[in-house]
Amino acid sequence: MRELRGDLMENAISQTDSATADKIVFKKQSQAKEVWRMYKKNKGAMIGLVLFSFILVMLAGANFIVPYSAATKGVFSQINQAPSAAHIFGTDSYGRDVFARVLYGGRTSLLVAILATMSSCVIGSTLGAISGYFGGKVDGIIMRSLDIFMSIPDILFTMAVVFALGANFQNLLIALTLAYFTNYVRLVRSQVLTLSEQDYVEAAKAGGSGSTRIILSHILPNAMGVIIVNTTLNVAKIILYESTLSFLGLGMPPPAPEWGLMLAEAREFMRAAPHLLFFPTMAIVVAASSINLIGDGLRDALDPQLKS
Amino acid sequence: MYRYVINRLLFLIPSVLGVIFILFLVMSMTPGDPARILLGDAASQEQIAELNHQLGYDLPFLEKYGRYVYQVVVHQDFGVSYFTKQSVFEEIWPRYIVTVKLAFIGVVLSSLIGIPFGIYTAVRQYSLWDTIPSLIAFFIAAIPSFVLGMLLLYLFSLKLNWFPSYGIESFTSYIMPALAVSIPPAAINLRFTKSSMLESIRQDYVRTARAKGASESTVIWKHALKNALLPVVTNVGMSLGNLICGAVVAEKLFSIPGIGSLIVDRITYKDEPVIIAGTILISVCFTVVMLLVDLIYAYIDPRIRAKYARVKG
């Protein structure tokens, strides 16, 4: 709304005498800037952002830090070594460098989490928007099917899908998307239901805009805040969920470096080599909590009333 | 109100039919077949085809679905496991009870830990009593639940030797799985209760109550908490799905004979009757709990009760 008002005022000013317009210093602040201003004030959120950027830089630059072969090729003489100067996170039960595995594993884990979140967001939001905007029979069909779908516990469904299609990167993505898109349907639907009653939607309808246009350019932009916050928090949830799947033997297939898989493998060596458990756990905790901090910060910045 | 409950219960029928349909659909996409797994690699193609035929596995998807529904509805029979040849119902029911028990303990324990702490941290916001529990909850929310379970196992079973590390022989063997199942949702409950409570404390009616001179405890317990609890109740109900996920992990970790781990194991064997019957039981339980949550919701919030009453009239 603020933006809209700004535009109107700007138009008004440009229409008046240009001489007067020059004197008025019009400071238009975009919503993104405003959000960033609020976000910067939040210490925890900034810590989260710095940590997460650090993780991203480390993962992106992994090739410059350790070669990929260190993560996959083990040295038999160096099994389960405690952290040392040569292997700062130690080595695992195949003699592979844990540090390298954490780095390259992070790529897989984060990529799966981010892609799965995105696809579930797109599919779920589309269904939610259609359901909420059109209401009636469409809404009934979508929501009832969703109820059925949701009465199967996520974990069982994901397992069945991963097993049916085979465990690899792409199928993991499909399974996670199927498990998480339902949240977005409900979320976006409830947002659309409230936003559809706003005056500006009424105005757009009266102006003759079509449904697609109203949803895309009037309703969704206003629901964006809630969607962004949820998407951020979802990435952290999926990282944890993904590792649980790996633990149950349904994540990425074994030789690949992946955080959950590393933890599942570490289980046997809990006593002999606790560092195998410690470092991947820390990686997950740092990644998930920094994302959670960012999400909380965004929520506070987007909706100051809900600040907690 | 009664009509509403009956409607909701009636919805269980299409819901269960849908669940069976989805599962058969997913299963029909699965490569491999039970006969191959049962007979081993040495078996000939004819033997496998014959056994698959005996099991009824080779039927077309829709016919299989129809037969299964008929068998369940008319004969109240969940069939026989491909793998153990036992009656599915007899095999899964005791395990189902174990899992439900575990999930129930999880719901109760996580609410008992999470909600009071959530209220307390909200009331004492920015004090040490807020920072420490909130920080702990924050980190627990970022640890995979099975790592937490592994740590518990390591600490209490292997190091201190207080509780058995597997099975469910006695009461004490429930303690660790119950903790492993309830700590993660407790952290979520804490965070949720806290933010809901903080929101409610800032409302006008709380300020009004304070202005009228109500004591601090009345303000918190009667005015703020009553309104803050509504979303918390929903959250507790919704967390049941996560609890079942947690239960599967805990069953695996502590070698508990529950239904979750049974389904996980049988998915690799393509033991359709067990997988489907198990999932039906779980989803019925889930749906009934969601209905209970809605009813509790209506009980707590007179606004919702009024809405139902109007629908009825």
Q: Give the residue from chain A lying closest to B184, CA to CA.
A: A240
Any A CB within 8 A of B249 CB: yes
The answer to whether the complex's ipTM is over 0.85 is no
Contacts of A94 (CB under 8 A, 6+ apart): A74, A79
B142, B268, B287 member nearest A288 (Cβ): B142
Nearest alpha carbon to residue B177 among B109, B278, B241? B109
Any idea where the domains of chain B sit in the sequence? 2-75, 88-312
| B266, HSE (Cβ side, Cα atoms, 13 Å) | 24
Q: Give the residue from chain B lying closest to A157, CA to CA.
A: B23
Please write the tens of the pLDDT for every residue from B66-113. Answer: 877 877 777 777 777 777 777 778 888 888 888 888 888 888 888 898
pLDDT at residue A242, rounded to an integer:
86
B163 neighbors B253 (Cβ within 8 angstroms):
no
CATH number of A51-70+95-306: 1.10.3720.10
Q: B15 pLDDT exceeds 70? A: yes
Cβ-based contacts under 8 A for chains A and B: 125
**What is the Cα–Cα distance from A182 to A204, expressed in whole angstroms?**
29
Question: Which chain A residues are within 8 Å of B279, Cβ to Cβ?
Answer: 152-153, 156
By three-state DSSP, how is residue A238 classified? helix
Contacts of A294 (CB under 8 A, 6+ apart): A45, A48, A49, A52, A232
Interface test with B, best of A55, A149, A155 (most B CBs within 10 A): A155
Any A CB within 8 A of B143 CB: yes
Q: Considering chain A, what is the average pLDDT of its residues?
A: 78
CA distances (Å), origin A122, targets A127, A143, A240, A295? 9, 17, 21, 18
B22, B249, B287 member nearest A244 (Cβ): B249
Any A CB within 8 A of B260 CB: yes
A97 strand-pairing partners: A91
**Per mean pLDDT, which range of A8-12, A52-56, B39-43 is the poorest?**
A8-12
Mean pLDDT over residues A143-171, rounded?
80
The pLDDT confidence band at residue A81, using thresholds 50, 70 and 90, is low
**Per mean pLDDT, which range of B154-168, B232-246, B255-269 is the poorest?**
B154-168
Please write the tens of the pLDDT for every residue from B221-259. Answer: 888 888 888 778 878 877 777 787 778 888 888 888 888
pLDDT at residue A160, rounded to an integer:
78
**What is the Cα–Cα distance from B4 to B291, expressed in whole angstroms?**
10
B20 neighbors B276 (Cβ within 8 angstroms):
yes
Q: A207 pLDDT exceeds 60? A: yes
Nearest alpha carbon to residue A175 among A156, A158, A160? A158
Question: Which chain B residues are within 8 Å of A263, Cβ to Cβ?
Answer: 144, 146-147
Interface test with B, best of A145, A151, A240 (most B CBs within 10 A): A151
B87 strand-pairing partners: B80
Q: B186 pLDDT exceeds 50? A: yes
**What is the Cα–Cα distance from A233 to A239, expressed in whole angstroms?**
10
A145, A155, A284 member nearest B248 (Cβ): A155
Q: What angle do CA A259, A265, A266 make, to 5 degrees?
A: 90
pLDDT at residue A23, rounded to an integer:
53
B80 strand-pairing partners: B87
pLDDT at residue B76, rounded to an integer:
73
Verify whether the Cβ–Cβ distance A147 to B30 is below 8 Å.
no
Which fold would CATH assign to domain B88-312? MetI-like fold (1.10.3720)
Interface test with A, best of B126, B147, B202, B294 (most A CBs within 10 A): B147
**What is the Cα–Cα distance from B185 to B1, expressed in whole angstroms?**
31
pTM: 0.81
The pLDDT confidence band at residue A3, using thresholds 50, 70 and 90, is very low
